[in-house]
Amino acid sequence: MRSSFKYKYSIIVMMLFEYAVINAQTVTLDWKLHDIGKVRQVVTNTGWLNAKNDATFDFPGLINCEYPPGSREEHITEAGPWIGAKVNGQPLVSVVRGEEGEFWPSDESWDTMWVVHRGDTVNIGDPVNPYWQNYVGVSDEDFICRYNDYNPVSLRKADHIPLYLEVVQVSYSWGSPPLDEIIVVNYYIISKHYDLDSVYITNWMNGNVGYGETDAFGLDDETYFERDKTMAISTDLPGGEDGTAIGPIGQRNYFPPIPPGRDSSLTFIWYNGQQQGIPHTNDDRWRDMTRRVVMENQVSTGDGTKHIVSLGPYHLEKDDTLNFSVAIILGKGIQGIEDNERVLNVVRAKDYKIPSAPPSPPLKVFTDNKQVNLNWYPEPGEINPEDYTDPYRADSLFKPFEGYRVYKSTQSQAGPWTLLAEFDIPEDDYGSNTGIEYEYTDVGLLNNVDYYYSVTAFSKPDKVINFPPLESSISANSHTVVPGTTPPETVGKVAVVPNPYRGDEAYYTYNPQWEKPTGSRERWMEQDRRIQFINLPAECEIIIFTLAGDIVAKLYHNDPAKGYEDWNLTSDVGQAISSGLYLYAVQDKRNGNTQIDKFVIIK
């Protein structure tokens, strides 16, 4: 017990020291979130796939590799490559890994995460001397960055001897089927100083699968390996504190071919969730990544799972490049991952030149009393999905647009989504032939609560290569909408809802939610309580009193388009109010008119 405490204490001290060192240097740290499809994954310009538990970055409440969107189900706690090679006979390993990482970007302002979309052409890097000139976007959402193992931050790492490697990283994400459950990360490794021999490429992953709001989400997992595909699959066992996961995660490794005359060395090793046995030193990592062993599938001991997949040896000349890819594949169950892996292989064989979804329609939203009007008619100068062309269709259909779909959610901009309507081209061989519309009105709504809408465009299927109809991203075109009335001319009809407010009522379970966690929290807390003052004039002050005349809180409202104001039942000094009868006074700041009324709190 004492040795375990000392180990954890030393790790914490080391992390704090390294965090201070990192921030003492001038580096351009950046991150982006792939969320255009069904997988939400943070990518950093240190090469680390992560979202939390990393003091280097400030991730605002994100979880680790969420799938499906809005599920709070995690799949990766940490992942990234290790590169090993021999220099003058000495084995060295440089790793991408959180605070222990040895790869960092430069201090140049342009050494950030670059975002490029399909078909766009961009010069990546220094405006004068870009490191990737005329880069053409491949997926719906490409992230490009660069890092190395020999900059000042890297050299300050204890026991780190650099291989003098530069890595250009490019990740792909798609917003529509059949690729919206996949993220592909490409690594271009460039040797800047040595001719490197005995090069080994290793992918490390901590595949914790489960509901991320509990610390137990990473305990009952196990990993197995499909050797013919060099694919490791981490899966959650049914039940347990974290429940039963919707889907496992696959790590499909696309290594470069071993040069002729070299004996291929494939390694797969899994580790349980405890620290014992997990390699943390240069020598231990080199030992494991070159072991030439493929372990039997893991049987969970309740301690979680981590693993490496490694291949070598390669030879890398100075200034040459070694390229490999890792596909993060999600899906509904093991079969979903297997199906997605087969689709990805077809797409890779076509160099990712595949049919694409139409662009999102130009959605505009208008609110009224208990209703929302959606309009997506393209005005001059706006993108028109009906005009898009696709050069990579096998059926040579010049304009493959087919129709629009209207979606609604009562929970979040990430869904879940309900299909409200579909409008498609009439009198053709596809769809229901309803005819094209550009407007939809949703009625019977509650005023002053959040709803979420999206309108997508979809294409005809490509029957020549058996490619399905493709649809623009729902999440990329989603809007938060609050129906309601405009402010009245003055006070007189101000009211409180709900009145009485009942503390034993689970308002957060309503659909749509009356109360919901603020920020990125998943679970409701006391400070999320909510009453609402409605029918407020555009500019007014609300003063809340006890029956004894003591002021509890003051609220200021100044909004010409919104006639309500929320209050979380917390006083101006931060105390939750108790049960009782309360008075309120609303003064119209434009004319001085005042309305006084009451409400009841029952806890």
In terms of Cα–Cα distance, which of 447, 444, 425, 451 is closest to 436? 425
- Please indicate, yes or no, if residue 247 is contained in any of the structural domains: yes
Provide the token pair at 80.
């990234």
- Please indicate, yes or no, if residue 304 is contained in any of the structural domains: yes
If you average pLDDT over residues 299-303, what whole number do you get?
74
Confidence of residue 20 (pLDDT cuts 50, 70, 90): very low
Q: Return the DSSP state at 22.
A: H
Domain at 471, CATH number: 2.60.40.10
Same domain? For 306 and 171 the reply is: yes
pLDDT at 19: 45
Paired with 226 in beta bridges are 231
Burial class (CB in 10 A: 0-12, 13-18, 19+), 404: buried
Domain end call among 349, 373, 406: 349
Same domain? For 386 and 339 the reply is: no
- C-alpha 69/C-alpha 36 separation (Å) is 10
- C-alpha 584/C-alpha 553 separation (Å) is 10
pLDDT at 280: 85
pLDDT tens digits, residue range 80-134? 999 999 999 999 999 997 556 899 999 999 999 999 998 899 999 999 999 999 9
Same domain? For 226 and 340 the reply is: yes
- C-alpha 448/C-alpha 458 separation (Å) is 32
Paired with 600 in beta bridges are 581
Q: Is the pLDDT of residue 54 over 70?
A: no
Same domain? For 58 and 186 the reply is: yes
- Please indicate, yes or no, if residue 358 is contained in any of the structural domains: no
Same domain? For 82 and 224 the reply is: yes
Q: Is the pLDDT of residue 163 over 50?
A: yes
Q: What residues make up the domain containing 504?
A: 495-602
Provide the token pair at 231.
């694919």
**144, 168 Cβ separation under 8 angstroms:** yes
Q: Is the pLDDT of residue 576 over 50?
A: yes
Q: Is the pLDDT of residue 21 over 60?
A: no
Provide the token pair at 152.
């000042």
Same domain? For 317 and 383 the reply is: no
Paired with 462 in beta bridges are 467
- C-alpha 236/C-alpha 333 separation (Å) is 10
3-state secondary structure of 415: coil
**153, 104 Cβ separation under 8 angstroms:** yes
- C-alpha 167/C-alpha 403 separation (Å) is 42
3-state secondary structure of 3: helix
Q: Is the pLDDT of residue 539 over 70?
A: yes
Per-residue CA distances from 52 to 64, 89, 222, 306, 514 (Å): 7, 38, 22, 17, 29
Which phi and psi angles does 245 have, rounded to 5°?
-70, 150
**125, 110 Cβ separation under 8 angstroms:** yes
Q: Is the pLDDT of residue 534 over 50?
A: yes
Same domain? For 317 and 395 the reply is: no
3-state secondary structure of 9: helix
**How many whole angstroms from its chain centre is CA 120?**
22
What does 330-376 look like in DSSP terms, one character per residue? E-SHHHHHHHHHHHHHHHHHTTT----PPPPP--EEEEETTEEEEE-
- C-alpha 489/C-alpha 478 separation (Å) is 33
Q: Return the DSSP state at 477.
A: G
Pinpoint the alpha helices (H) of 118-167: 152-155
Same domain? For 180 and 210 the reply is: yes
Q: Return the DSSP state at 274.
A: S
Same domain? For 429 and 452 the reply is: yes
Domain at 286, CATH number: 2.70.98
Same domain? For 86 and 170 the reply is: yes
Q: Is the pLDDT of residue 52 over 70?
A: no
Q: Is residue 500 reached through a cis peptide bond, with omega within 30 degrees of 0 on the bond before it? A: yes
pLDDT at 244: 80
- Please indicate, yes or no, if residue 355 is contained in any of the structural domains: no
Confidence of residue 520 (pLDDT cuts 50, 70, 90): low
3-state secondary structure of 250: strand
Q: Which amino acid is at 17?
A: F
Average pLDDT, rounded, for the chain: 89
Same domain? For 467 and 575 the reply is: no
Tell me which of 23-27, 222-226, 548-552 is least confident.
23-27
**69, 173 Cβ separation under 8 angstroms:** no
pLDDT at 467: 83
Q: Is residue 361 reached through a cis peptide bond, with omega within 30 degrees of 0 on the bond before it? A: no
Continuous segment of H or E residues that includes residue 11:
helix 2-24
Q: Show Cβ contacts of residue 571 under 8 Å, excluding neighbours closer than 6 positions.
A: 552, 553, 577
- Please indicate, yes or no, if residue 555 is contained in any of the structural domains: yes
Same domain? For 410 and 507 the reply is: no
Domain at 581, CATH number: 2.60.40.4070
Q: In what order do the strands lie in the sheet with 231-236?
A: 114-116, 141-148, 165-173, 182-191, 321-330, 249-254, 231-236, 221-226
Number of domains in the chain: 3
Q: Return the DSSP state at 238.
A: S
If you average pLDDT over residues 232-240, what whole number do you get?
86
- C-alpha 423/C-alpha 362 separation (Å) is 16
